[in-house]
Structure formats: C-alpha cells, structure tokens
Structure 1
Amino acid sequence: MSFMSPSMRPNRNQALPETTERLDFSGSLRRWTGSSNGVWFFVDIAGEAADQIADYAFMRRLEFGRARGFGSVKVMARVGESRWSTSVFPNGDGQWMLPVKAAIRRAEAIADGDLVRGELALI
C-alpha cells in the first residue's frame, strides 16, 4: 500500500512527448541541503546535453520575450522505467540541475553519488 498521493508517484505509463526535442543525459545524483535545512536531490547535466538545453532556453526567450522563473526549462524526464514532469534549472556554470524526487529515487533504487542515465523531452 502506498501513502503517496497520485501526483507524487512515478508514472511508468506516461510516454515522453513525440513533438519536442529529446536528449539523453547522464550525471551523478547529488544531495543538496538548503539554508532552511530542506534537502533536495539533483542530477547535474553537463556537456552536449547542457548545451542543447541552453540553446532551447535561449530560443524560448526569443520566442516569448522572457525567461521562465529562475531560467528554468520545462521537461518530461525518464530515468529507468519512471517518467515525470518537472523543470531543469541552470546552475550558473553551464550545467543544468534536474530535481529527482524521493518517489523516483525509490522506484529506480538510486542514491546520492550514483550515476543516473536518462532522457529528457524539452517542452
């Protein structure tokens, strides 16, 4: 029995959108503790994948005349069999951060320091 609300559960049946730009990524899962003692987990996306996200974000800024909050880009992410909607965020050094919620970490048995491979659909 799961006590997670439906919006918190990984959606294994949700397909990645067909009409958007897709890219593969890999990076280490890292734990980040905020100033209010909140804990988040992110995969740092670098290299060619990060360049593709930055190009997409730039084109969206040109198209809409402004950036999304915190410079984020909406994505549909897939790691293993889990898929979820989220956003990636620039970290200021050319890389992007993909937040990975607890339900995904549990479903895919990944932990701090693990190499994570997956796919993003930029939406």
Structure 2
Amino acid sequence: MELSFSGRVIEWRGPSPYYFVAVPDQESADIREVAAMATYGWGAIPVAAGIGGTTFTTSLFPRQGVYLLPLKKAVRAARGIAVGDELTVKLTVRL
C-alpha cells in the first residue's frame, strides 16, 4: 500500500524528545484496513517513508485514532527538519 500526505512535525516530550508527523484521518483509516496483515505486534506498522530525497524505514505507532510517523534524528538533520515544519511524506506500508 502506498500513500502520500502532508502534515506538521510535532514533538512528544518525555525522558528524551521524539518527533513525529501524524498520518491524516483518511490515510490512517486506509492503514487500519491492512493493519492485521502488516503489524508485528502492539499495533506498530512497518513502513518505508520518503521526505524529499531522503528515504528511511521505521514503524508507525497508533495514537488517538491516527498513526504517528517517527522522524529519526538522521532524517531530521539531513533535511533540516524542525518542529512545526509542514512536510510531504510518501509512505509504503510493508505487508
């Protein structure tokens, strides 16, 4: 399954900060339709993501009815990504 969407970078504070882009409602609903085939546990969904010319693998995490795409430090550094930035993401759910 391939998707494309835009969203703002958010910071999740904790013992160490994490950075995410929330997958919009409609795309999250599409992912939920294949979640049982893709998840490896705890609702995490393995994906390949692309932002600009940077591609990476990670897992989406379910949170409050949508999925969150974590942004690795290397990805943020390579693209100069900061909290509040609007990003266009290409996403492939790895079934």
TM more than 0.5: yes
Q: Which runs of 5+ in 1 are unaligned?
A: 1-20, 62-66
1:85 aligns with 2:52: no
Give the Cα–Cα distance (whole angstroms) in 2 for the partners of residues 32 and 56 of structure 1: 26
Where 1:97 maps in the other structure, the secondary structure is strand
Where 1:70 maps in the other structure, the secondary structure is coil
Superposition map of 1:1-123 within 5 A:
21-34=1-14, 37-58=15-36, 60=37, 67-91=39-63, 93-123=64-94
Of all paired residues, the percent bearing the same amino acid is 33
How many residues are aligned here?
94
TM-score with structure 1 setting the length: 0.71
Which has the larger strand fraction?
A: 2
Q: Which runs of 5+ in 2 are unaligned?
A: none
Write out per-residue CA displacement over residues 73-114 of structure 1, whole angstroms, 9 at most, x where no aligned residue. 1000001100011100110x2210000011111111210011
Cα deviation, residue 47, structure 1: 2.1
Check the 8 A contact 1:46/1:94 in 2, yes or no.
Answer: no
Runs of 4+ with >4 A deviation: none
Give the Cα–Cα distance (whole angstroms) in 2 for the partners of residues 69 and 115 of structure 1: 30
Kindly report the root-mean-square deviation, in angstroms, between the aligned alpha carbons of the 2 structures. Answer: 1.4
